[in-house]
Amino acid sequence: MSMADKKQKESQFAQNSFNRRREHMKELLDLIAIKADKKSSDYKFYKSKIMDFFYTDLEDDFRELAEDEFLEECECRSSLRNGWNECPYCSGAGYKNSE
């Protein structure tokens, strides 16, 4: 991998934002799990709402940044709601820095 390719990979905004927000979402769900059993209807309700909020918010941000030509859709055609994958540019975010 050339130095330019390495730098491009390391500075992918959508990838970094997606991974950071996924970690925040997991931490929130872990906090809820302290008070509500993961199999309970309460936990499932909160999980659904939190996941929907995070993914909808990210999708809106990425679409807006793509319209402003800061980001573009990644060639891997990932979707945020399908979760993490091994794409070196987006990790499943579905967007990468514009070229």
b/e code 24-38 from CB counts within 10 Å (16+ = b) = ebeebbeebeeebee
User: What are the tens digits of pLDDT across the range 15-48?
Assistant: 999 999 999 999 999 999 999 999 999 999 999 9
- What CA–CA distance (Å, rounded) separates 96 from 70? 9
Q: How far is CA 93 from CA 23, 38, 39, 45, 77, in A?
A: 14, 26, 28, 24, 9
User: What are the tens digits of pLDDT across the range 71-97?
Assistant: 999 999 888 888 788 899 998 899 999
Note the pLDDT of residue 59: 93
More confident residue, 15 or 4: 15
Q: Which residues contact 72 (CB under 8 A, 6 or more apart)?
A: 66, 95, 96, 97, 98, 99
Is the whole-model pTM more than 0.85? Answer: no
